[in-house]
Chains A and B, each alone.
Chain A
Amino acid sequence: MNAYLKRVLAAGVVLGALGGAPALAKDLVMGRSTPQTVLDPHFTVQPTGNAMATDLYDGLVFFGEDLQLYPALATSWEPIDELTWEIKLRPNVRFHNGAKFTAKDIEYSLKRAGSMPNSPSPVTPQVAAVDEVEVVDDLTVRIKTKVPTPLLMNQIGEVFITSSEFGDVDTADFNSGKAAVGTGPYRLVSWIPGEAAELEANPEWWGGQPEFENVTVKFIADSSARVAALLSKQVDVIDAVPSEDVDFLRGQSGVEIHSSPSVRLLFLYLDLVNDNSPFVTDHEGRPLDINPLKDVRVRKALSKLIDREAITDHVFARLATPAGQVAVEGQGGYSKSLVPDQYDPDAAKVLLAEAGYPDGFGLTLHCATDRDVNTADAIQAMAQMIARGGIRINAVDCRPYSVYSAEATKGEYSAFMWGRSDKRPDTSLNLRNGYMTYDIDAGVGAWNRGRYSNREFDNLVQLALQEFDTEKRYDLLRQATEILIGEDMAILPVYFLNATWATRDGFTFDANKKVETSAQHVHAK
């Protein structure tokens, strides 16, 4: 028997009273789709490691609903030269165990986040720019960067701050609860990996008294089970409401739906590099030695064949929004001129004929079954539309993400659906990692799976990455996106998923585009 569970149990807290009496006025039971598998906030960037962290810990900054930065543990930050940022910290903040929060904790946490061994998804990229952390006094730190880094706060702002007093701790110490001590609005009471967690209010939180005395978070991965749990009053709030059940839930008395467009974009990658792309054929299914997808007219025709409204209406019950670019409104780099392509099969036909494919060609579409909701349904609907536009659909092949992601990243598909969330204040990192020319040495374009390459676009993004002036940076990013989508249609943006929650009588939820299901977003009515 492992030690940490014993300790959890020794504390005498085992989850109970699920189906029983209704929750007390100041208690909250949440049903969450993502299980918490580690409590160490520096182990992984996956939601399995940090979804609950927003309640337990604070970061230097807080990303608001408009995706911009707001003070959290840092009250102000400014560059003093190209390579140095000075950060002022919030006074009189205490950790859950009473220890005083100081600059040392910042130094400690940034260092720890950059050096987690054995993580398949390390937090390293968030602190990669940091060269040195200098503690000036208790409430001031200076951070030296390796290269000019205007986006430093966007990156290190995502690192959760833990207490330096625990020194050299490993994940087991967090899991046991010993080191899982933050400054956040709720304290950890108990946690059963992947099953449930109990939290209690931290009345001394700098942001004010939290609303609920006790919070229970139950991890319910299956969406129907989650809905059933809400209906049978075992939980008060659920996240990731399946779109199939939204209309039904709306009709239930006492149940409320809370929804907001999110930053999760689903788009179609197209193979822009191979001449004999693996899943492109001619219109009779025979191999083709030229790749029509490399022709921008073909890509634009494909985009016009997709009836995005029909997909968002019929596959997602309007819980998705047609997409015409990679940024959401309000995010730096958003372009007003890029609107989702309208369904226009006639124009598509003309474009295809111009490109030399009046009879179309053949294509296999790929997607992952277990990543984003209803992707398989959406891609089948897209296949219907593309097929009616005269392009032969050889197959729609959806595979588990474990298989799919490896093959897609290796470039083994020709046209495939992908989801990407960008909840940063601006799109610079998204554009750098996702769309700049794939270049191992420069470390850019690492996830550019379609292998889009345009020097002009690269230069604009590169300039933006060096630009300290926010307005100018946003403008550069906007221009870059207009090339990426408007001129080149490097990917086909299809829809932004909505994030959706449902609450029972007596509770309400702040729907947010960052798709956070923390207790802070729940309010009693």
Chain B
Amino acid sequence: MTTQSSVTRPVPSKRLSVPIDEREPSLLRLFFLDFIRSKTAVVGLIVITSIIVAVVLAPVIAPQDPYDLSQLNILDGRLPPGSVGVDGNYYLLGTDGQGRDMLSGILFGLQTSLLVGVGSAFVAAIIGSILGLLAAYFGGIVETLVMRFVDLQLSFPTILTGLMILAVMGKGIVNVILALIIVEWAIYARTARASALAERRREYIEAAETLALPKWRIVLRHLLPNCIPALIVIATIQIAHAIAFEATLSFLGLGVPITEPSLGLLVANGYRYMLSGDYWISFLPGLALLITIVSINLVGDHLRDILNPKNKR
């Protein structure tokens, strides 16, 4: 049965499981070889890695601390790229309306955006897929409970849930992440359950059950791997979505604090200046946002392809 064999476990668990008959010492190497087959994915990985390095080094390499208001000068506001400010500062990528150096703003903003996107997607995926799998496997009261919660959650439009949570709890990165987790876990639960539900009825699961394998083992070793491709697709989409969602919250006046803008907030703030031609304030952080998300997705896409048990050639 091809569906049962040749499952390569995804990265999160850091454990690779393979069917016994194919076990070889060079599995990681195989995975690596598989991965570098796609040039775009490799480029994506390189870009992500450089972005992460740049973000970690941001406090050192950024010309300015964009969160320290005393370093900003309103008199330097809306300067185009390559300008020199009143105090002789050189702004490679120009400044925003507050006189914030765009390069520094983008570097620090990336930090926030990545934290928000990856952090929320990761936690939400774990919570959501566990609940979804349990629902699919056990059915009955567990499924009813979980799926009604999913319904409750999904029947609150995400954007409204976000608005309400942030209005009540106040702004801040942690609150944005919390809001995103609350908003997104249900999507993972729903997806995990949907894939597992179809899988659940397959013969090999029934076979495993008749073999009296422990339930957790069936869930973890058979249902979960089969849900992983779908979950990875959803997760890559959700990371991108989380970053855009945070931008939208900022556009609507919530989200992260205005003095510590994420990429999304930089885009949202700069958007007001687009009509009058000050493109760099919105466009450059938008570009950074885009490159980041596209790279994440290129890698995610390819991971999905090589992890999908049904795609084995």
A-B interaction: yes
A residues near B (Cβ < 8 Å) are 223-224, 227-228, 242, 244-245, 247-249, 307, 310-311, 314-315, 369-370, 376-377, 380-381, 383-385, 387-388, 393, 395-400, 402-403
Cβ-based interface call for B8 (8 A): no
Cβ-based interface call for B72 (8 A): yes
List residues of chain B with CB within 8 A of the CB of A387: 69-70
Besides A380-B98, A384-B98, 8 other CB < 8 A contacts? A228-B275, A242-B272, A247-B276, A307-B74, A310-B75, A311-B74, A377-B98, A383-B69
Find out whether the CB atom of A314 lies under 8 angstroms from the CB atom of B258: no
**Contact A384:B70 (CB < 8 A) given known A224-B271, A400-B253:** yes
List residues of chain A with CB within 8 A of the CB of B157: none
Find out whether the CB atom of A403 lies under 8 angstroms from the CB atom of B259: no
**Contact A400:B257 (CB < 8 A) given known A377-B98, A384-B98:** no
List residues of chain B with CB within 8 A of the CB of A385: 74
Find out whether the CB atom of A396 lies under 8 angstroms from the CB atom of B276: no
List residues of chain A with CB within 8 A of the CB of B275: 224, 227-228, 244-245, 248
Complex CA gap A458/B275 in Å reads 49
Find out whether the CB atom of B277 lies under 8 angstroms from the CB atom of A376: no
Q: Which residue of A lies closest to B277 (CB)?
A: A248
Question: Shortest distance in angstroms between A83's beta carbon and chain B's nearest beta carbon?
Answer: 48
Question: Shortest distance in angstroms between B269's beta carbon and chain A's nearest beta carbon?
Answer: 8
For B252-295 the 0/1 string (1 means CB < 8 A from A) is 01100111000000000001111111100000000000000000
Q: Which residue of A lies closest to B275 (CB)?
A: A245
Question: Shortest distance in angstroms between A10's beta carbon and chain B's nearest beta carbon?
Answer: 34
List residues of chain A with CB within 8 A of the CB of B257: 395-398
Name the residue among B70, B97, B170, B257 with the largest chain A CB count within 10 angstroms: B70
For B159-197 the 0/1 string (1 means CB < 8 A from A) is 000000001001100000000000000000000000000
List residues of chain A with CB within 8 A of the CB of B72: 384
B residues near A (Cβ < 8 Å) are 69-70, 72-75, 77-78, 97-99, 167, 170-171, 253-254, 257-259, 271-278
Taking a contact as CB atoms closer than 8 A, the residue among A224, A307, A396 that contacts B69 in the complex is: A396
Name the residue among B170, B258, B277 with the largest chain A CB count within 10 angstroms: B258
14 A-B pairs, CB-CB below 8 angstroms?
A224-B274, A244-B272, A244-B275, A248-B275, A315-B97, A370-B253, A380-B98, A380-B258, A384-B69, A384-B72, A384-B73, A384-B74, A395-B257, A396-B259
Find out whether the CB atom of B254 lies under 8 angstroms from the CB atom of A244: no
Taking a contact as CB atoms closer than 8 A, the residue among A248, A384, A400 that contacts B167 in the complex is: A400
Complex CA gap A242/B274 in Å reads 12
Find out whether the CB atom of A381 lies under 8 angstroms from the CB atom of B254: no
List residues of chain B with CB within 8 A of the CB of A403: 167
List residues of chain A with CB within 8 A of the CB of B75: 310, 314
List residues of chain A with CB within 8 A of the CB of B278: 244
Q: Which residue of A lies closest to B163 (CB)?
A: A400
Question: Shortest distance in angstroms between A248's beta carbon and chain B's nearest beta carbon?
Answer: 3
List residues of chain B with CB within 8 A of the CB of A314: 74-75, 77-78
Q: Which residue of B lies closest to A311 (CB)?
A: B74
Complex CA gap A383/B67 in Å reads 12
Complex CA gap A307/B86 in Å reads 16
List residues of chain B with CB within 8 A of the CB of A376: 258
Find out whether the CB atom of B259 lies under 8 angstroms from the CB atom of A248: no
Question: Shortest distance in angstroms between B241's beta carbon and chain A's nearest beta carbon?
Answer: 23
List residues of chain B with CB within 8 A of the CB of A227: 275
List residues of chain B with CB within 8 A of the CB of A398: 253, 257-258
List residues of chain B with CB within 8 A of the CB of A400: 167, 253-254
**Contact A402:B167 (CB < 8 A) given known A245-B276, A383-B259, A396-B257:** yes
Find out whether the CB atom of A248 lies under 8 angstroms from the CB atom of B69: no
List residues of chain A with CB within 8 A of the CB of B77: 314-315
Complex CA gap A94/B77 in Å reads 55
Find out whether the CB atom of A397 lies under 8 angstroms from the CB atom of B272: no
**Contact A244:B167 (CB < 8 A) given known A380-B98, A381-B98, A395-B257:** no
Find out whether the CB atom of A224 lies under 8 angstroms from the CB atom of B259: no
List residues of chain B with CB within 8 A of the CB of A315: 74, 77, 97
Complex CA gap A385/B71 in Å reads 10
Taking a contact as CB atoms closer than 8 A, the residue among B97, B170, B253, B276 that contacts A377 in the complex is: B97
Complex CA gap A403/B98 in Å reads 25
